[in-house]
Structure 1
Amino acid sequence: MTSIHVNSTGGNLLRNGEAVAKGRDPLPRLLAQILERAGDPVTVERATSRPWASALFQGRRHMIALRIAGTDAGERRARFVDGIEEVEWSLNGHFVADIGIDACRSTPEEEWIELSALTIEDW
């Protein structure tokens, strides 16, 4: 299982830039794109990834928890959630087969989003 704890934007998530080897965990690249979609300020409170396989495919199952802060947090959460299933994610050697919002909750200062995604190796 891979876990990543990030408290800033995705600029430094990828150690090797776009040169992510095929078959490697696409979580860092997916997180960078999720953070870009959420906008600043956003914090990745939890991100885990574990192997997944079916009879024909192999990939990874990702669970991600985000905290969105700021005066416009509610609007940004709504924009983030709206149409997330149709977003075209760019993952070298993988594609997002399924992504969905598991839970959302609000506090007076921030919004929380929990989502899960399934990425499949593109061979």
Structure 2
Amino acid sequence: MHCEQDQTRFTRRADPLLPRRSPWLALLSQVMALAQGQGQLLRHAERGWTSATFTGSRHVIEMEFTGSEAIAAGEHYIRTLPDHEFAVPGHLVADATIIETDHTQLPQPRLTITAELLLVEDA
């Protein structure tokens, strides 16, 4: 008995019902670059987001800057994040906001920054 395999069943194709890959890595890479290598990532959380016309995700990123030089980089991060032009494949950054800061001096200078970014899928 001879059986031929149908090769088409092994072909991968885009399925619109499957979720798209999350853009978190591209987003975090660019956020870390804005921190000038001085910030330490404390937390990243992602949750789905939809409106009547758009689909995307909301990202909360918490970073810590320790020491005077790092705090200067953190202040730069605060100034530049909201207007930064992100390049995240398949997505647009619709909003980038600093939602919380905490600055302490002892036992050493430390600045903790929490940002929230809204990404929408680019049609």
Q: TM-score, normalised by structure 1?
A: 0.76
* Matching residue's letter, 2:61: I
Q: Which runs of 5+ in 2 are unaligned?
A: 1-18
Identity %: 29
**Match runs of 1:99-118 below 5 Å:** 99-108=96-105, 109-118=109-118
Distance 1:83 1:61 in 2: 19
Question: What's the counterpart of residue 83 of structure 1?
Answer: 80
| Structure 1 residue 78, shift from structure 2 partner | 1.4
- TM-align CA RMSD: 1.5
Q: Give the distance between the partners of 2:36 and 2:49, measured in 1 at CA.
A: 29
Equivalent residue number for residue 61 of structure 1: 58
- Corresponding pairs, count: 102
Tell me the equivalent position of 1:119.
119
From 44, 49, 59, the equivalent of 1:47 is: 44
SS, match of residue 82 in structure 1: helix
Give unmatched runs, 5+ long, in structure 1: 1-21
Runs of 4+ in 1 over 6 A off after TM superposition: none
Larger radius of gyration: 2
Q: Is the 8 A contact 2:38 2:74 kept in 1?
A: no
